A and B are shown apart, each in its own frame.
Chain A
Amino acid sequence: QKEVEQDPGPLSVPEGAIVSLNCTYSNSAFQYFMWYRQYSRKGPELLMYTYSSGNKEDGRFTAQVDKSSKYISLFIRDSQPSDSATYLCAMSFPSGGYNKLIFGAGTRLAVHP
């Protein structure tokens, strides 16, 4: 079993839709949760990060963490064609003197006009 599971998609939605992206994890040591957006042939860009269970909102994006269920989500409201990208969840825990990041495989999102 992988430490972090993420549905690879692809997910195709119309412009204006609400998008829900999800990851599950098995390691209770994970303390910090992140979402990255990666456009084709580019490096990942940090979108949001959070530590505690609950919701964190930034503009059209909401990150949700449920530590009891080992489940995290990213919601995108009023999705735009410019949101078309691969979204990677990442989780961090202390390991060997640094904070190790474990990534999901990424979900490809396509928002069509």
Chain B
Amino acid sequence: SQTIHQWPATLVQPVGSPLSLECTVEGTSNPNLYWYRQAAGRGLQLLFYSVGIGQISSEVPQNLSASRPQDRQFILSSKKLLLSDSGFYLCAWNRGSYEQYFGPGTRLTVT
């Protein structure tokens, strides 16, 4: 069966510091990978998606970037965090299906 991991689970970072969140998927190959952000009381906003290694598409202009160095690894980064980057970050995957499967999430607080 497939499993999706995210780390860290929680993170508190000062404004202006860098960010690196990691997502890995086990039990499948060539997945589509997605990064979402969920603000309190709001739905999920798609940030980036990737259909293959090195292929990244951005949905919304952000202070963030994404990379996919390996088939089942997806990384979300920032060079300098803003207060507005605080939120719950979720990684998801699918492969040949409409439905997406989510990881446990990373709660980021920028202070």
Contact = CB atoms under 8 A, between A and B. Distances in A.
Interface of A: 4, 6, 8, 31-32, 34, 36, 41-46, 49, 88, 92, 96-101, 103-106
B46 A42 contact: no
A42 B105 contact: yes
26 contacts: A4-B43, A31-B98, A32-B98, A34-B98, A34-B99, A41-B88, A41-B105, A41-B107, A43-B90, A43-B102, A43-B104, A44-B44, A45-B102, A46-B100, A88-B44, A92-B98, A96-B57, A98-B32, A98-B49, A99-B94, A99-B97, A99-B98, A101-B44, A103-B43, A105-B43, A106-B43
A46 B101 contact: yes
Residues of B in contact with A, size category: 20 to 34
B105 to A, nearest CB: 5
Contacts of A44: 44, 90, 102
B87 interface: no
Interface of B: 6, 32, 41-44, 46, 49, 51, 57, 88, 90, 94, 97-105, 107
B102 A88 contact: no
A43 B103 contact: yes
Nearest to A93: B98
